[in-house]
A and B are shown apart, each in its own frame.
Chain A
């Protein structure tokens, strides 16, 4: 079969890239080989547009055991405990088939974590839908939420935190990002680097079907009106089999049988075998007739490109085959030696003893294309905001508009569909600044959270990039955790577009600076380009997943007011930054101006002081101030607790609207006992922290002198309606 231009195009390869393949192979590839190149050279697997930018991110630190480049990142939390975590996108499949797309997104990220020897202990997600009035949004929301729940609930790992957002930029291209967090012993981490020749290459898990063929290539192209036709490339998840695979792998990992292990994720058998061989500078030979197949007459091409779920590739130590086979048989899983490592540095594919394909590993991995794409800096548009007009709104009505909006409504309709309690270690469930999950049988815990700010990133990508890292850091602080490291999921439009590439480059600059300043390294991540349809790109949406440590879990802290007559302190300075705020969006449908500036020094100083107060046991509750500003943060504390507030009218401020709804960064609200005020002030003054005593908690009423007084039950009702009525 000759390779025509049409075939090349269908594989998502550019003609130039095909010329390059011929040069590397010194001949024309056959169809199987072309398929393998297309799987390894697409954006999703090769990071060809993003690599030069990703390299700039800080990835090292005393806490880092393994940075990017493995199945997941690994950090040290002391006492020989390690946390393994990563976030990944499953955007395109979820738009085409929301239930299965979201479910397999969860399944895929879980495998990345347990492949490294970790037992998954928490799941998180960041899901973004189009406008609620868009005809597809409702069914996508239903499908994605039940898909995430369907997988996590069944496998029995708690889904503890996440965000659900709506923005018309995602009308034709939703985002579904899933994060998994696991716990391992520091001296028992498993990697994907192959070592030694003539070692058995073992296929375990589910059988291979025709599902998901070219899934990774689909994720590397824009959508068009025919995208629905891509349904057959969406994989189907089976969380039950994954549960068996998880238990079998962890059982095998108890001893020294495994040299290397890699899950078959995007690009399935191809990428798993190539990555293991590439990391070990070895070759790998596969006998494809041995691959367990679900369907009849599957061709080598289909086997190599299938993205059937719940499969792993393992390289075993000599003589361990029978021991390993017994474990997988116990769990009723397939276990087949399908090949061996070689010293040829080639991927050698045989089918019934006939050579059907042979490619240099380097050509697929290290020699994959690397693009230095053109990009332009964002032109900052001048804000056309009429500040006088916005100050004239009724304060209480403006608050109600925000509280009842889809983006700020209570999300228990979503989170009640996720089992948050299974495994018995969830100390703080969804709804707080971060979730807290105890390390099993220990007196310490991790805190986890995910954040994004697409509107900020769209208007000024660099500030947006800084802001999400800082907000994420602040969220972990707010539950009393010391932030350790992050994973990022970079959702962007078409990288061949200079403006999109500019958004990417600038967001990364911001993320880099914030991570460096806060000593908050990036240990894993994923890039998802081509989010958009017919040349309309989504807003840049980097999502940050953070992990922090709570070393002594005596009394965990959250944002719920604990009693009445406590004092409320606002830490950090309020300037009243109203541009790009939720207030403007929900009240005037205005998305205009710049995001709030980030002052790294204040951010870090304020955060560390708050963490210090929490550790000293001087706080009753803590909440970070973010979207919606001070007033929404206070409402969230009140609505979750049944205590209200009584706040004095601010004195030195321009206007209450800007004071209460402004989204200045680096701020926290802390609730303290009156008796502790002197101690608290001492800590704050010693560190030169700007703070204001803004009021007290009280029973029943949410009251701001001269502006509003509402029963908190009424506010709660307003906040809880939207999902149930949608």
Chain B
């Protein structure tokens, strides 16, 4: 499978995701934000970081950059798109995903391992996970507090578009297991066609036992065996 990682000025998890993709046998290319064409890709990843320094609003400037119109075209033709952390923020700014990411409830940057629960395993991103499986994944963000309007929340629930929810180690989804104040503990969502996933936690940080754990591996193996 061919993957492309989009590099914006200020992206800083671009190398990390490339390492993870290559480890999982993707043929990966790095794509500079000023490029106007995308290499042939089955998967496009928008990595974490602080694109354009988070100036104006996280993801706002990257959402208007040259390569984005190509990403939108690819998305509409069914290409798989994964936005992690700042990548999720950028996807909401481009309109490919609905809703927005507000400042964390405690108004602080949060870096820690949190538990998330797989809410739908019948997608190309999550098929290798069990339904309701609890994963321990690292988060690192200032603005991860997901919010959307009521009608969209209803749609997310009805259509199985919530990918992951924050929970505790036993799977309980509540205020105490919500690190950033996200609406209904939402940690990641799909678009209606389920070919786009945006998530705040960093699966690429969880592919190496020496560093953390391997709870992120099945996300990539789901994709490669789709």
Contacts and interface: CB of A to CB of B under 8 A. Distances in A.
Interface in B159-210: 202, 204-205, 208, 210
A422 B12 contact: yes
B211 A149 contact: no
Nearest to B49: A156
B211 A239 contact: no
A556 B54 contact: no
Contacts of A438: 210-211
B50 interface: yes
Contacts of A146: 108-109
B95 interface: no
A: contact size bracket:
20 to 34
A28 interface: no
Nearest to A153: B109
A422 B140 contact: yes
Contacts of B16: 422-424
B19 A155 contact: no
Max count, chain A CB within 10 A of own CB: residue among B50, B54, B110, B111: B111
A420 B208 CA distance: 15
A423 B15 contact: yes
A461 B144 CA distance: 48
Contact of A332 (B9, B138, B212): B9
Nearest to A142: B108
Contacts of A513: none
A553 B209 CA distance: 12
Contacts of B9: 240, 243-244, 331-332
Nearest to A425: B211
Given A153-B109, A553-B210, A421 B49 contact: no
Interface string A5-36: 00000000000000000000000000000000
Given A243-B10, A423-B16, A426-B211, A154 B111 contact: no
A238 B111 contact: no
Contact of B13 (A156, A412, A427): A156
A239 B202 contact: no
A180 to B, nearest CB: 15
Nearest to A238: B53
Interface string B1-30: 000000001101101100110000000000
A146 B103 CA distance: 14
Interface in A549-572: 553, 556
Contacts of B152: none
Nearest to B142: A153
Contact of B205 (A154, A418, A424, A553): A424
Max count, chain B CB within 10 A of own CB: residue among A416, A421, A553, A556: A421
A412 B110 CA distance: 10
A240 B10 contact: yes
Interface string B105-129: 0001111100000000000000000
B52 interface: yes
B110 A417 contact: yes
Nearest to A428: B211
Contacts of A332: 9
B140 A419 contact: yes
Given A154-B10, A331-B9, A424-B15, A417 B108 contact: yes
B: contact size bracket:
20 to 34
Contacts, number: 84
Interface string B83-105: 00000000000000000000000
B143 to A, nearest CB: 12
A153 B10 CA distance: 11
B10 to A, nearest CB: 5
Contacts of B140: 153, 419, 421-422
Interface string A412-453: 100111111111111100000000001000000000000000
A422 B13 contact: yes
Interface in B37-77: 48-50, 52-55
A12 B205 CA distance: 50
A716 B212 CA distance: 22
A7 B55 CA distance: 40
Given A153-B109, A417-B108, A421-B212, A240 B53 contact: yes
Interface in B123-161: 138, 140, 142
Interface in A129-149: 146, 149
B109 A417 contact: yes
A438 B20 CA distance: 16
Max count, chain B CB within 10 A of own CB: residue among A418, A424, A556: A424
Contacts of A417: 108-111
Given A427-B211, A553-B210, A421 B109 contact: no
Contacts of B205: 421, 424
Contacts of A240: 9-10, 50, 52-55
Contact of B111 (A155, A416, A425): A416
Nearest to A416: B112
A421 B109 CA distance: 13
A332 B65 CA distance: 14
A149 B141 CA distance: 11
A244 B55 CA distance: 14
Contact of B19 (A156, A424, A556): A424
29 contacts: A146-B109, A149-B109, A150-B109, A153-B111, A153-B140, A154-B10, A154-B12, A154-B54, A155-B12, A240-B9, A240-B10, A240-B52, A240-B55, A241-B53, A243-B9, A244-B9, A415-B111, A416-B108, A416-B110, A416-B111, A417-B108, A417-B109, A419-B111, A421-B111, A421-B211, A422-B140, A426-B211, A427-B210, A556-B210
Given A146-B108, A417-B110, 16 more contacts: A146-B109, A149-B109, A150-B109, A154-B12, A155-B12, A238-B53, A239-B50, A417-B108, A417-B111, A421-B202, A422-B12, A424-B20, A424-B204, A424-B208, A427-B210, A438-B210
Interface of B: 9-10, 12-13, 15-16, 19-20, 48-50, 52-55, 108-112, 138, 140, 142, 202, 204-205, 208, 210-212
Interface of A: 146, 149-150, 153-156, 238-241, 243-244, 331-332, 412, 415-427, 438, 553, 556
Name the 6 nearest CB pairs between A and B, nearest first: A156-B12, A240-B53, A424-B16, A154-B50, A419-B140, A419-B111
